[in-house]
Structure 1
């Protein structure tokens, strides 16, 4: 595998080697760290919604961290829709950190200082972008 020079993309590539589906890991962490989110999902039939939401989030993250060709704009759209659902902005932003933390735990020793720094920078930028989308 040729590692991407984009550290965010690289973290997802490394995770893909270890795990075919991040969805259960991400939502297990989300529900543990933010138990109030569990009631936001139906008990029946929500697996598709969770998987779809995570896939769109990953697309937006990769575009935001890369070319910014358009998918990243989904973040601004979802800030508005989650506001309409009554989701606190801090909780919306926390989901991105949950994705990062899930990847960090999954990668273990392969989680480099460069990847950590790239994610730290990305989360600050997403927070600022989401705030400007208000």
Structure 2
């Protein structure tokens, strides 16, 4: 497999080589930073929901940071969906930063300045898409 030149994609590639399942790391960080989110997931079957939510989010992030072939539109759709659930937009957006922070910690010394800048730009663009001023 050829390493991606896209810093966002590269951060996920490196993380995948270190961790088979990001979900436990991402959700533990989410629950630690935002304890109120734990109650947003039902008690039975929540692992499947969380895994699916993370997989769809990663797919949307990769498309948003890359080709923008259409998968990234899921972000805007989910903003509206989470609005209907009563999820504050700031909390919705925080999930993306949680993913970034999880990758950064997992990669350690391999987290580059290019990755940091690409992720910062991505988060600002996602905030703009969601209608949140950066």
Q: Same fold (TM over 0.5)?
A: yes
Q: What is the total number of aligned residue pairs between the two structures?
A: 132
Q: TM-score, normalised by structure 2?
A: 0.96
2:11 paired residue number: 11
2:70 paired residue number: 70
1:56 paired residue number: 56
How far apart, in 1, do the equivalents of 2:47 and 2:75 lie? 21
1:97 paired residue number: 97
How far apart, in 2, do the equivalents of 1:26 and 1:126 lie? 18
What's the CA shift for 1:13?
0.2
Q: Map 1:32-51 onto structure 2 (within 5 A).
A: 32-51=32-51
CA-to-partner distance for each residue in 1:107-134, whole Å, 9 max, x for gaps?
00000011001000100001001118xx
CA-to-partner distance for each residue in 1:6-64, whole Å, 9 max, x for gaps?
10000000000000000000000000000010000012210000000000000000000
Q: TM-score, normalised by structure 1?
A: 0.96
**Structure 2 segments unaligned to the other structure (5+ residues):** none
What's the CA shift for 1:2?
2.7
Q: Map 1:13-28 onto structure 2 (within 5 A).
A: 13-28=13-28
How far apart, in 2, do the equivalents of 1:105 and 1:2 lie? 23
1:111 paired residue number: 111
**Structure 1 segments unaligned to the other structure (5+ residues):** none
4+ residue runs of structure 1 moved beyond 4 angstroms?
A: none
1:123 paired residue number: 123
CA-to-partner distance for each residue in 1:57-108, whole Å, 9 max, x for gaps?
0000000000000000000100000000000000000000000000000000
